[in-house]
Structure 1
Amino acid sequence: MDLVKKFWPRQMVAQLVLLLLVALLLANLIAVTGTQLTGSLLHPLSRSLAVERLSVGVSDGTTALFCG
C-alpha cells in the first residue's frame, strides 16, 4: 500500500494523464480482442471477391458504391 501511495500522482494533471493512458490501453486491448474474435469471419476468398467487385466497378466506369 505504501508503494502505491509513493508512486500515485498527486497533481490532477498527472492523474488525468494516467487515466487517459489507462483508457487508451483498455480501448486498444478491447479492439485487438474484438479483431481477433471476428477476424476469422473475414475469409481471404471474401476479401478477394470484394477486390474483384471493386475492379469490375472501376473498369465499367461506375463507382463501387452503386454496384449492386
Structure 2
Amino acid sequence: MGASLRTRFDAGMRAQLAPNPYGYGSVPIGTDEDRREATVSGVVIRYYVSRGVATVTVVRVVFL
C-alpha cells in the first residue's frame, strides 16, 4: 500500500470506522455480528470487533 493511500486509509479508520465499528456501511459476515466487512477509503477490509475492550482487528485488507 503506497504512502498516500495508507495516509487516507488510516484517516478513514480513525474518523469513520473506529468510533462505530458496527456502522459506517459495514456488514456482518455470516451470522456473527462481530465479524464484519467494510470499505474504508477505497480499501475493502474484513475485521473482528472485540466489544469488551473496544478493539478492531483487521484480518484482511484488499486494495488495487
Q: Report the TM-score when normalising by structure 1.
A: 0.25
Q: Which has the higher helix share?
A: 1
Q: Which has the higher strand share?
A: 2
Structure with higher Rg: it is 1
Q: Which of the pair has the greater relative contact order for Cα pairs under 8 Å at 6+ separation? A: 2
